[in-house]
Structure 1
Amino acid sequence: MTTGPTGTADEQPLLGPQSRFSAFFDDPRWALAMIRATVLEAAHPQIGAALLDNSTFTTHPWRRLRNTFLSMRRMFDADPAVREREAARLNRLHSRMSGADSRGRAYDAMDRQARAWVVATLFESAVTMCRLSGQPLDQDTMEGMYAEYRAYLAALDGDAGELPEELHDFWRYFDTVVENELENTEAARVILYRLFDHLPAPALLKGMPTLWAAGRAVAGPLLGTITVASLPESYRRRAGLPEMPGAQALMQGAYLAAGLGRFLPEGLISAEGIIEVLSLSPGSDDPRARTVAAVRARMKRASALLRLLTPLGGDAGPAPDPAPSPDTGQSRRSAEQFFRQVLDQTGDGHLDWPDLAAMARELATRLDLDEPEETRLYDAFAAWWRELQAALDTDGDGRVSVGEYAAAVPSLAGPALIRVAEVLFDVTDKDGSGAIDADEYRALFRTAFHRDLTTTDGAYGRSAFVGDFLSFMSGRRASTPYDPLLADA
């Protein structure tokens, strides 16, 4: 008796921790394959437009990486209920993304053909990754893995009808999309030529711009060259992507080197652990925080030495944050800094609804919200956007420029922002106790509960929470908990 797209009663489930796909999560080659798949996704006009308008992948790539990895883990969880809940969350997220590209073509993140292409790029890049690293998959393994990817699509869409049933038909489908639908989109160009060259430092390396810029100056162009060389030749030719001399050999060598990871002891490489360490917030009470602090101290010394020996020209990274005020221990940002670091989540130089939606999305993801709490949070941010637009959009173009924002130097703590703070408090206070305890605090901020607790219950009350949120959002003060949540990469 069959059990649906996730497997049969007598067979191992297609989705779960024992699937072939799950085995790639901690494979070093998967990092290269994911970059390649992302470019192929971004080259699809609908997906590329949705990425440009709604995604924070250029300004907050490490946050996006962590959330994507967490989502994929959930989609391959052993518990079907976890998979179903994550699929529902992804569908709610995508249902809020629609619009038109620069040529007036409509896009919708719920488009079934576009979603099928995302899954297709993941499967094809996994197969290509194995081939390029000298470990090509045999036919049976490929067919089994293709069934897993179709099950993944079925979990999202209800069925996998947009992908061919048989593997031999898939290759014809893939080549047809590459030949007839992919374009040299702006999103693809951003990933290949801007993201790597201007990749912001993760939390672990924040405050060491010289050291980060030195490593990025070498790694960025290499990653771009390797990715371009690994793309289908027909797409490279049509998109006019230049291929550097020796790029194919470099690409092959990179995949072969990454493939050597199979000789390492099992469990030595944990993608989830690496991402978590890179994203550790200052002051986190994670046991690994002390080790990270020691590493940061050594890296800062290396960065200072490098700056003395080989001063770098050009962009070494964002300017350091202002010094803390002796009165408050917090630092103030200029209006332009606050706009760039906090408000402009998508990095397009303007404030509009996708920026505030990105804030709501990150908060909902951190707190793992279900309905109706998720919609309450989005609705509160939508009301705040309407308030901001009415007050700051002086030229009536439907968005707020950094000039309009800086010229007004507004106080953002209007009724709508207060409502955002109140809703955020309510959804963070999961037990409905009327106060946020240490566990609830960590769920939102992933940092230690550093408040000066003089009350008997050691909790974070509504008025204090709302006041701190408003101080951050309207007073433009740097904040130990809120910066890693809304400002860091």
Structure 2
Amino acid sequence: MTSTGDSAPTEGTTDPPGPATDPTAPENSDPLFGPGALFHSFLNDPRWALAMVRATVLEAAHPQIGAALAENSTFVAHPWRRLRNTFMSVQRLFGADAGTRQREAARLNRLHARLTGTDAEQRPYDGTDPAARAWVVATLFESVVTMCRLGGQPLERQDMERLYAEFLAFHTLMGDPPGHLPARLHDFWPYFDRVVEEELENTEAARIILFRLFDHLPAPPVLNGVPTVWAAGRALAGPVIGAVTVASLPEAFRRRAGLAEVPGAQTLMQGAYLTVGLTRFLPESWLATENLAELLDPSPDSDSAPARTLAALQDRMKRAAALVRLMTPAVPAPWSSATAPDSTWGTAPEPASAATPRRESEEFFRQVLDQTGDGYLEWPDLAAMARELASRLDLDEPEETRLYRAFADWWRELQGALDTDGDGRVSAEEYAAAVPSLAGPALIRAAEVLFDVTDKDGSRSIDADEYRALFRTGFHRDPAATRTTYSRSAFIKDFLSFMSGRARSTPYDAVLVDP
């Protein structure tokens, strides 16, 4: 599917070849996946967070990958959601179960097959390009090696060979043809240096990650109730993370991209890796990747230690914020009961007026529809919605393709009805002016797909347990069931009310609004 706003997405996309059979290691050799693999031991290493940022910059500096990220990714508007999804995907791809690995690889291949378009210089990009996909694997491997070196624990040659074999196995798992990654570690370093020196660019996506992402990073769930505390911490930590990341990049790329290095940045970088590395001596349960992922997106019915810790922290944060508000009271202005639910302490809500629905529609546009955060609604925004829903619901074919096609059809309807200035995209103003006309046949088809995957027993209705299961497993939310059963029409009506911006507090709200 194309991702440009001036052309509708194509009806179908041929998926790339499925993942190859997992390589079989020789008898008595170290496993390439699962708990016995070397890379698996790094998954819970806190330094991996710094290495991931570094690897992402190197990926984004590749012209094809950078263009795909800039056009399609939601990492700027929803960074915590993107991080959570990455955690879960890496866990599946490097886990012990071969079936889970192959299923996740197939899902990623379908996702990448839908990432096609052109960059700002009209150069085509393709999410299935084997050279670009090989570069992603290369940056991950090289960043792990660099992480160990900067952390004062450089890998021995034997361990480096073993780690490289594991990443080659991962590359094979993804089904990419051989030859794009060197078969031997000895040949990897000339390949890596050549790509850095000859192919990488100072792309828009790389600049966003280095200079904008941390300055505007939304608060993680634990700090949602204390924006002032988060803003202060971000103002201090953002420049430090940026400086550490720049200093850790290959010198050839820094020179090619014209990245200025802050005096003392090398010392700061090594200190950061060493300091973060010390946290690996904390209890293992505190650093487990699955626990961190749950903190980023807690399940409502979870009774795990991370979920309990998060709930306790959020409760204390709310109490502290309430205490601060009591100590610094503001005189409230007259307010209307019609607008009370949207009011904030010390700020007088606007009186109810004809402009209120339009304001709420524009707010819905920014929080839900504009998934990429660029201020406009285009196909990549709706594709990101479909991608997130398919991932949360763990859809396989053909349901996943049905969902994407329904959202693609909805985009054509929106573009035809709302793009009044003909620029190939929909602005917040254009959307707010035509809210009542948004629930067309295509959006109904999207709701039907969700109903079908929820109605697992084929009864043509959703009982209260199925309704809760949908949001717990797919959305990690626990909505209160208001009836014993939900008919197809009732389910679709609720979904349409949300997606057209007419209903604000439905179970779907938190799914696509989450950072």
TM above 0.5, yes or no, is yes
Give yes or no for contact 1:338–1:476 (8 Å, CA) kept in 2: no
One-letter identity of the residue aligned with 2:459: S
Partner of 2:482: 452
Partner of 1:216: 234
Deviation at 1:4, TM superposition (A): 5.9
Instruction: Give 1:376-391 correspondences, 5 Å limit.
Output: 376-391=402-417
1:203 correspondence with 2:221 = yes
- Taking the aligned partners of 1:305 and 1:40, their CA distance within structure 2 comes to 44
**Structure 1: 4+ residue segments shifted above 4 A:** 288-291, 303-310
One-letter identity of the residue aligned with 1:446: H
Give yes or no for contact 1:204–1:280 (8 Å, CA) kept in 2: no
- Taking the aligned partners of 1:52 and 1:229, their CA distance within structure 2 comes to 23
**Taking structure 1 as reference, are residues 165 and 337 closer, same or farther at Cα in structure 2, changes over 3 Å only?**
same
Partner of 1:314: none
Deviations 1:198-231 (A, max 9, x none): 0112233223211211111111111111101110
Deviation at 1:303, TM superposition (A): 4.3
The answer for unaligned runs of 5 or more in structure 2 is: 1-20, 329-339, 350-355
Deviation at 1:238, TM superposition (A): 1.3
Specify the SS of the correspondent of 1:394: coil
Deviations 1:414-463 (A, max 9, x none): 2221221111111233333333413333112212241134x3xxx44323
Instruction: Give 1:459-470 correspondences, 5 Å limit.
Output: 459-470=485-496
Deviation at 1:36, TM superposition (A): 0.3
Matching residue within 449, 457, 469 for 1:431: 457
Instruction: Give 1:53-452 correspondences, 5 Å limit.
Output: 53-280=71-298, 284-288=300-304, 289=307, 291-303=309-321, 322-323=342-343, 334-436=360-462, 437=466, 438-452=468-482
**Taking structure 1 as reference, are residues 291 and 321 closer, same or farther at Cα in structure 2, changes over 3 Å only?**
farther
Identity %: 67
Give yes or no for contact 2:58–2:139 (8 Å, CA) kept in 1: yes
**Taking structure 1 as reference, are residues 226 and 305 closer, same or farther at Cα in structure 2, changes over 3 Å only?**
farther
- Taking the aligned partners of 1:192 and 1:337, their CA distance within structure 2 comes to 28
Deviation at 1:102, TM superposition (A): 0.3
- Taking the aligned partners of 2:81 and 2:188, their CA distance within structure 1 comes to 32
Aligned length: 468
- Taking the aligned partners of 1:303 and 1:295, their CA distance within structure 2 comes to 12
Give yes or no for contact 1:6–1:151 (8 Å, CA) kept in 2: no
Specify the SS of the correspondent of 1:142: helix
**Taking structure 1 as reference, are residues 290 and 258 closer, same or farther at Cα in structure 2, changes over 3 Å only?**
closer
Tell me the C-alpha RMSD between the 2 structures.
2.5
Deviation at 1:403, TM superposition (A): 2.6
**Taking structure 1 as reference, are residues 442 and 133 closer, same or farther at Cα in structure 2, changes over 3 Å only?**
same
Deviation at 1:31, TM superposition (A): 0.3
The answer for unaligned runs of 5 or more in structure 1 is: 311-319, 326-330
Matching residue within 47, 51, 60 for 2:69: 51
One-letter identity of the residue aligned with 2:421: D
Deviations 1:261-300 (A, max 9, x none): 343344441122122123226xx22225554333113213
- Taking the aligned partners of 1:17 and 1:353, their CA distance within structure 2 comes to 40
Give yes or no for contact 1:49–1:100 (8 Å, CA) kept in 2: yes
Between 1:264-273 and 1:417-426, the stretch displaced more is 264-273
One-letter identity of the residue aligned with 1:382: A
- Taking the aligned partners of 1:167 and 1:8, their CA distance within structure 2 comes to 19
- Taking the aligned partners of 2:495 and 2:252, their CA distance within structure 1 comes to 51
Specify the SS of the correspondent of 1:99: strand
Specify the SS of the correspondent of 1:280: coil
Give yes or no for contact 2:22–2:173 (8 Å, CA) kept in 1: no
- Taking the aligned partners of 1:132 and 1:482, their CA distance within structure 2 comes to 43
Deviation at 1:89, TM superposition (A): 0.7
